[in-house]
Each structure stands twice: as structure tokens, then as C-alpha cells.
Amino acid sequence: MLILKKKTDTIAQIISENNEIFTYTSFQNDIVFDLVFLDIDYFTSNMDVLNTIIKSTHNDSLLLINSIRYTKQNFDLWNTIKKHPKVTVTIDTYSLGFVFFRTEQAKEHFIIRK
């Protein structure tokens, strides 16, 4: 699991507590991640991070993004991510965005209603 956040990282500590889940807070050479948590504030300060994330994932990886509708800028970034050619499925839950890269699936975008 890769966790990219600007703030101090307690998520990695919580997830790895009593588990055998390896968490990283930066990209590692030759490691492909099943799950990447991306703090949208980290993305706004590192615009090239999406392409780097995609290179570090596989067909069944999940990219989870927080606060996608918190500001107009966040929502614009969410829409940019949805348009990326490698992104096939997204799920908008208003507070979280789920991004999938499944090559065998048609491009679809879902919104979970409040």
C-alpha cells in the first residue's frame, strides 16, 4: 500500500497495526502497489504524481482519493483524473473517489447519491 499525504501520516500506522500490510509513504523502485491512497492536497502540489502512480499499479490496483468535492479545485482535479486514458472506472462517493485501471472493462463513471 502506498499512502501519499502532505500531513503527518497516521493512516499507515492504523492500517499496519496488528496486520502484515506493508505501507510506504513514497514511491519505491520496482514495487507495484495494490492500493494507493492519495491525499488530494498532495496531488495539487505534485501534478505529475498521477502518471507516476499509474506506473506503480497493476490491472487490479485501486487508487483512493479523499475530499474530491471539498473545493471546486478538488472537483476539477477529480474530473481530470477521470479523463486519464488509463483510468477505466471511477466511483464518486462525494467525499472519496475510487479509481480503477482494469483494461478489460469499458470506461464508466459512477456517482453514489447522498
Per-residue pLDDT of 35-59, as tens digits, reads: 888 888 777 666 677 888 888 899 9
Its pTM stands at: 0.79
Q: Which of 25-34, 64-73, 81-90 has the lowest mean pLDDT?
A: 25-34
Q: What angle do CA 37, 41, 46 make, to 5 degrees?
A: 90
Pick from 52, 44, 32, 31: which is nearest to 5 by CA?
Answer: 44
Burial letters 18-35, b for 16+ CB under 10 A, else e: eeeeebeeeeeeeeebee
Q: Can you read off the three cell numbers belonging to residue 58?
A: 497493476
